[in-house]
Structure 1
Amino acid sequence: MADLSTRRVLILATNQFEESELFKPRQALLDAGAEVELASIDTDPIQGVVHDEEDGEQITPDMTLDEVDTHRYHALVIPGGVANPDTMRLQKRAIAIVREFMEEGKTVASICHGPWLLVEADVVKGKRMTSWPSVRTDLRNAGAEVVDEEVVVDGNLITSRNPDDLPAFNDALLKALDKVPEAA
């Protein structure tokens, strides 16, 4: 496994994030030595869900969206859950963060319903992507080429469909970070 001890990754999430889609990539990154920070609307603990049916684990954000300096990070991770990206796409600063990462060509990895935030940030036109099935029409309408594959890498953008795809999603994320020069 690559040593990612010089890499910094930001996760954007709020209440009702899909538990495995936040915790599993976060753990894979930490295991590889990366520094991982979580930003949310505020710094109160946020509640995860398991398949939007039951409460999952909580986690306390490290900072608010307004405190994020995108220049500090090498990559951005956007987990799904239905309500998480739906709430985040109403946050002007969350949209700006996504745009900043994309404009700087930094890795942006989003899974399941997470690409809703990418649609809102208007960064999917011409990109080959995947997502949870109900999000695919939104991606197409925003100009993405939508496919049904466990992980899709198009330049700096990594997308996956659902929690079953997490092994491939995490592998693609770690490989992308291993190729990034150390200076953010």
Structure 2
Amino acid sequence: MTRCDPIDNDPPGRSSRFDAASPDLRAGNVSDGRALGKRRCGCVAGGILRRVRRGKEPPVNAKPDTRPAAAVLLAEGFEEIEAVTVVDVLRRAEVETVIVGVTGERVVGAHAIEIRADCRLEEIGARRFDAVVFPGGMPGAARLRDDDRVRSLLVEQHDRGGIVAAICAAPMALAAAGLLEGRRATCYPTFRDRLGSARYADEPVVEDGAVVTSRGPATALAFALALVARLRGPEVRDELARRMLVD
């Protein structure tokens, strides 16, 4: 089992799936981690808030993990705010979120913050994700754009109808793969001329079919919540936003 395989840390007989109608949520139990399906243990080593194994494999008759899954791809020079915000919000919403290192297992961001990925890109194999997400930042976004493996993953994800999402400078990687032709899209303003034939929209988050784009660090939270709505539904998104005090 690689670190890109699904992880389920719930002990037998207990589930931590997000339930917008759960008693914990209604009672407002946020600080102790019982609300919003927050995992009970996390650490930086092995990925941001990566869930720590209890040392036991799930029982043979355990139900398969049916949560939606997202891959967040990091290349050297990524924008840390965008990456951490997306991973944090998706995991709060009980989306299985895998941090994938494109340039190695340890990836250093544009502002010298190092993150240890859950796995490297080559370890994904044939695994499929409901969403593939690209944080921006430079030169990270350019490295995503120029990597043939990333481009192949993008095209495959798009062709089977999966969600493809990018923020800040990273939408140029989608454009380079031909995924923005004729679509509405947004990005960091100084990169708008790199969107090819996309129809640029000056909006925080733009959704066109299965393609989701956003402008930059200040819109990272709105971007992440838009992905929650896609993967878990608007009710989960709204409840999560309320608990996070999002206006």
Q: What's the TM-score bracket when you normalise by the shorter of the two chains? A: 0.7 to 0.9
Asked if structure 2 preserves the Cα contact closer than 8 Å seen for 1:107 and 1:177, the reply is: no
SS in 1 for 2:142: helix
Match of 1:155 in 2: 209
* DSSP 3-state at the match of 1:43: coil
* Aligned positions of 1:79-98 closer than 5 A: 79-98=135-154
Q: Identify which range, 62-71 or 14-23, moves more after superposition.
A: 62-71
Q: Contact between 1:129 and 1:154, CA under 8 Å: does it hold in 2? A: yes
- Identity percentage over the alignment? 31
Residues 1:165 and 2:226 are matched in the alignment: no
| Per-residue deviation, residues 48-96 of structure 1 (Å, max 9, x unmatched) | 23xxxx42x2111222222224642110110000101101222110011
TM-score, normalization: structure 1?
0.86
Alignment check: 8 A CA contact 2:168 2:187 kept: yes
Larger Rg, first or second structure (1 or 2): 2
Aligned-pair CA distance for 1:132 = 0.6
- Can you list the C-alpha shifts for 1:126-171, whole angstroms capped at 9, x where unaligned? 11000011221111xx211101100101111111101111222112
SS of the aligned residue for 2:99 comes to strand
Runs of 5+ in structure 1 lacking a partner? Answer: 180-184
- Which shows bigger deviation, 59-68 or 32-41? 59-68
Greater relative contact order (Cα < 8 A, sep 6+): 1
Query: Which is richer in helix?
Result: 1
Q: Distance in 1 between matches of 2:93 and 2:125?
A: 23
Q: CA deviation at 1:120?
A: 1.7
Answer yes or no: is 1:47 the counterpart of 2:108.
yes
From 68, 75, 78, the equivalent of 2:124 is 68
Q: How many residues align?
A: 172
Q: How far does residue 41 in structure 1 lie from its aligned partner after superposition? A: 2.9
- SS of equivalent residue, structure 1 residue 72: coil
8 Å Cα contact 2:142/2:173 also seen in 1: yes
Structure 2 CA distance for partners of 1:44 and 1:6, relative to 1, 3 Å: closer
Is structure 2 residue 72 aligned with structure 1 residue 11?
yes
Higher strand share: 1
Mapped partners of 1:69, 1:123: distance in 2: 22
- CA change 1:70–1:122 in 2 (3 A) is farther
2:231 equivalent among 162, 177, 180: 177
- Runs of 5+ in structure 2 lacking a partner? 1-17, 20-36, 38-65, 234-247
Deviations 1:92-122 (A, max 9, x none): 1001111111111111111000112112211
Distance across 2 between alignment mates of 1:27 and 1:165: 15
Q: Secondary structure at the match of 2:90?
A: helix
